[in-house]
Amino acid sequence: MIGLTGGLSGGDASGRSLPPAAGFLAEFAAQAGALPGPVAGDPALLSGEAGRFADLSGWQVLAGSPVIGASGVVFPPSVHGGRVSRPLGSMLAPGTRVGLVWRQEGALALSLGAEAPWIREGDGWQSADIVLSAPADRIEVTGRPTGGALREVALVALPETPAHDIVLLLGGAPMAGMWCGEGPEPLVDVPDLRVDAGEAIAVEPLRHRQGSLGPGPALAFARRYAERRLAPGRRVLLLPLASETGRLVAEGATRPEETAGAGWHPGSGLGGAADLFGSAVAAALEAPARHPENRILAALWAGGVEERASGASASAYAGALGAVFVPALRAALNLPELPVAVLGGNPATLPAEWLAAVATLDAESGAPAAVPGVTYLGWDLDRGDATKPEPRSPGDALHLSGSALRLMGLEAADLLIARHVPPPELAEIGAGSVIGPETVIA
């Protein structure tokens, strides 16, 4: 398991013989395999069998020469693209809010009834969210001239204004999955229909301030939380606020109060989009206002790469994070006990003193720098070298791989849940009671 000792025992891995990292993706897939895939929960919209093409009944070709089979619908390159459809289980009324996720190759356009189509390009999972303006009784998929394929689709009715448990995603490139050397894996990074990002169901890669190219820790974190602690009728909302070039302290900083150009530092004095802390606080304050039962569950921080690469000291970065950033965030949100999960850096390329300084922030570290409510999750070198594949420079080698970031997100959720989110309690069992593996009967 990843744990507090991962940061304290790590260090520069030069000359060490490390276990291979090839199994990290498989390890994550094994750990996350029990989590729900994108199967529609209401057969009145689209059954899981129909969405996975295990049941081909109802799917029909409307135009062109698409091929419908057990692996999905393949659209050969064609001037007109081709078009297929399938009836829904029932007519959806105007005003129904619908969430749609699908796995595609190439470029496709999906639509419900007479609504304008969603056009997406690129392989992988896509998502869309709409409140219907007219009745809809079928889903239609149209190919593009360059060709494409629909491999899987799920369609769910959503509350018009759902109640959310909100997770703030803060920090730099590790949080955003930038420069992790890997792209999303469609058969591993499967959307959870209970997890939103922005106005739609969350899919990898999440769109942070500057976009994203690969998987970070957040979706795995949210999926594990949803599996183990999300109350019935609620959803998870991820707020992707990371910045790949954002820093917590100034270039070459030796003290926490050195803030020149450090957008994440509460005292940076920057304005507008450069004020990463201020804009994150504004977004965090706005999100709970969307529903009276919304609540901010936790903040997840993953950073340090830009600070280390720019020459900042370990004491400056860790001091600013624990003694300045976390207290200021809690004060700005009026949440003095907000849980904050901090992910450690790459122990194969970071010096031991850097890793140890950040690890001491953990509430249970026993160190003077420990911050109540902070959980630290580091990578254990004995597990393998988590450096991104084929780094091009020493600075590039500071980045963790996408597979490692997924695992850290999953296990950061386990740690935060164990310390801060008790199992749900049921006062009594009755019709409609939902009992999970950790439910406590009061």
Q: Quick one: tokens of 440?
A: 């406590």
pLDDT bucket at 3, cuts 50 / 70 / 90:
very low
- Name which residue leads in pLDDT, 44 or 83: 83
Res 435: pLDDT: 55
Judged against a pLDDT cut of 70, whether residue 61 lies above it is answered with yes
Residue ranges of domains in the chain, CATH in brackets: 44-157 (2.60.120), 164-422 (3.40.50.1110)
Helix axes 326-333, 276-286, angle to 10 degrees: 40
Distance CA 255, CA 58 (A): 65
Contact 296, 421 (CB under 8 A): no
Using CA atoms, how far residue 386 sits from 54, 352, 413, in Å, is: 37, 16, 19
Mean pLDDT for the chain? 87
Exposure string for 369-403, b = 16+ CB within 10 A, e = fewer = bbbebbbbbbbbbebbbbbbeebeeeebbbbbbbb
**Percentage of the chain modeled with pLDDT above 90:** 66
Res 7: pLDDT: 29
Q: What is the pTM of this model?
A: 0.88
Considering just the CA atoms, what is the radius of gyration of the chain in Å?
A: 23
Exposure string for 2-35, b = 16+ CB within 10 A, e = fewer = bbbebbbbbbebeeeeeeebeebbebbbebbeee
Neighbours of 65 (CB within 10 A): 12
Res 160: pLDDT: 84
Q: Tell me whether the omega of the peptide bond preceding residue 205 falls within 30 degrees of 0, making it cis.
A: yes
Res 424: pLDDT: 77
Distance CA 161, CA 165 (A): 13
Distance CA 311, CA 349 (A): 14
Res 4: pLDDT: 30
Burial class (CB in 10 A: 0-12, 13-18, 19+), 215: buried
pLDDT bucket at 11, cuts 50 / 70 / 90:
very low
Res 81: pLDDT: 87
Q: Quick one: tokens of 17?
A: 């013989």
- Averaged pLDDT, 235-260: 94
Spatial CA neighbour of 46 closest among 192, 160, 152, 196: 152
Res 177: pLDDT: 84
pLDDT bucket at 383, cuts 50 / 70 / 90:
confident
pLDDT bucket at 23, cuts 50 / 70 / 90:
low
Res 35: pLDDT: 47
Spatial CA neighbour of 259 closest among 115, 267, 286: 267
* Amino acid identity, position 402: G
Phi, psi for residue 234 in degrees, rounded to 5: -105, 165
Judged against a pLDDT cut of 90, whether residue 159 lies above it is answered with no
Q: What is the largest CA-CA distance in the chain?
A: 69
Res 6: pLDDT: 30
Contact 144, 208 (CB under 8 A): no
Res 264: pLDDT: 97
Judged against a pLDDT cut of 50, whether residue 13 lies above it is answered with no
Phi, psi for residue 377 in degrees, rounded to 5: -130, 110
Distance CA 180, CA 439 (A): 37
Lowest mean pLDDT among 189-203, 335-349, 398-412, 417-431: 417-431
Contact 229, 268 (CB under 8 A): no
Res 45: pLDDT: 83
Judged against a pLDDT cut of 70, whether residue 380 lies above it is answered with yes
Helix axes 218-228, 24-32, angle to 10 degrees: 30
Neighbours of 423 (CB within 10 A): 12
Distance CA 284, CA 289 (A): 9
- Averaged pLDDT, 311-326: 98
Res 430: pLDDT: 53
The angle formed by the CA atoms of residues 306, 198 and 324, to the nearest 5 degrees, is 40
Judged against a pLDDT cut of 70, whether residue 12 lies above it is answered with no
Distance CA 102, CA 124 (A): 8
The secondary structure element, H or E, covering residue 403 is helix 402-420
Contact 201, 411 (CB under 8 A): no
Judged against a pLDDT cut of 90, whether residue 357 lies above it is answered with yes
Contact 2, 381 (CB under 8 A): no
- Interval 87-118: pLDDT, tens: 998 899 999 999 999 999 999 999 999 999 99
- Averaged pLDDT, 58-69: 96
pLDDT bucket at 48, cuts 50 / 70 / 90:
confident
pLDDT bucket at 441, cuts 50 / 70 / 90:
low
DSSP tally for the chain: helices H, then strands E: 11, 17
Distance CA 248, CA 304 (A): 8
